[in-house]
Structure 1
Amino acid sequence: GVNKMSKSLGNYIGIAEPAKEIFGKTMSVSDTLMWRYYDLLSFRSSAEIAQLRADVDGGRNPRDVKVMLAMEFVARFHGQRAADEALADFEARFQRNAIPDDIPQVNVSVGADGMPLFQVLKQAGLTATTSEAMRMIGQGGVRINGERAEDKALVLRAGETVVLQVGKRKFASVVLS
């Protein structure tokens, strides 16, 4: 995104949004547009912003400077503690690929004979279609309790609760009944 912040473009950051949303949306702003956000929305002085820009031009990772901006926004509207928690959540989710704390719990009725993994993925809402589920399994993009699932024919049985992950960011705790 190099477009201006706009509700119609879907790239705005609402001040009433949860802390994690504000943090995540700020981090998804392009490195180029980040400087405009600093100029227009940050309480930092022009001299501080110029120094940050010089640091990035000199080799500093722009991600670090963007984290500072995200922390400032969250702290302004939700407090420093919420900003620290949003940073920890962001790092766990996007840098260490850890399972987030707030994943949704979904109940899937698999019947007496169980249900193939690809159907469970669709029923749980983690994929739009069973063919997408099959493709994701084939590409190694599905994990069960943190372990890569490679068997498209794997049948999940009732009585289990498993954490399913599709891609990097889709998670669900699935109760099989």
Structure 2
Amino acid sequence: SALKAEVEGGRNPRDAKVALAQEIVARFHSQRAAEDALADFVNRSKGGIPDDVPEVAVGGAPLGLPQLLRQSGLCASSGEGMRMIDQGGVRIDGAVVSDKALQVQPGTFVLQVGKRKFARVTLAAGPLSA
């Protein structure tokens, strides 16, 4: 196909993949959706935070970081949270956190686990009222 020939001719394979993805999204959804998807891809590839981050409210501050990761739904268990912290895969407001014993204080911040899991967390002191 034309894309294969372009790659063999020296075009960056990533650029060809982006063009193909944009064409497919435009065909099945809309040109606007394709443009939005491209903007989101560029933002994420540069380490940015997506626009559609889910918001989560958690009570009980100060709270240990592994427990916060579990309660916010970003990790299945506190043990998984500790492993992600050990691997350098946890960020608070873009800053890598390496302290498994960190007690997170009340406030609102963006938690990130790995490259794709995000949550805007509001951590309150004491239990949340229903």
TM-score bracket, shorter-length normalisation? 0.7 to 0.9
For the pair 1:67 / 2:18, whether they are aligned, the reply is yes
For the pair 1:124 / 2:72, whether they are aligned, the reply is yes
Aligned residues: 124
Output the CA distance in 1 between the equivalents of 2:35 and 2:64.
40
Q: Choose which of 111, 121, 126 in structure 2 pairs with 1:174.
A: 121
TM-score normalized by structure 1? 0.65
Q: Deviations over 1:37-69 (max 9, x none)?
A: xxxxxxxxxxxx3x3212212332222122122
Output the CA distance in 1 between the equivalents of 2:111 and 2:4.
41
Paired letter, 2:89: G
Alignment of 1:22-171 (within 5 A): 49=1, 51-93=2-44, 95-111=45-61, 114-158=62-106, 160-171=107-118
Greater RCO, CA 8 A, separation 6+: 2
Q: Deviations over 1:93-143 (max 9, x none)?
A: 1x10101110100111125xx110110001111111111111111221110
Task: Give the number of the structure whose residues are more often strand, by fraction.
Answer: 2
Bigger radius of gyration, 1 or 2?
A: 1
Secondary structure of 2:43's partner? Answer: helix
Output the CA distance in 2 between the equivalents of 1:96 and 1:79.
25
- 8 Å CA contact retained: 1:110, 1:157: no
- 8 Å CA contact retained: 1:118, 1:134: yes
Which 4+ stretches in 1 moved above 4 angstroms? none
- List runs of 5+ in structure 1 lacking aligned partners: 1-48
TM-score normalized by structure 2? 0.87
Output the CA distance in 1 between the equivalents of 2:121 and 2:51.
14
- List runs of 5+ in structure 2 lacking aligned partners: 125-130
Output the CA distance in 1 between the equivalents of 2:74 and 2:43.
20
Secondary structure of 1:153's partner? Answer: coil
Secondary structure of 1:110's partner? Answer: strand
Secondary structure of 1:99's partner? Answer: coil
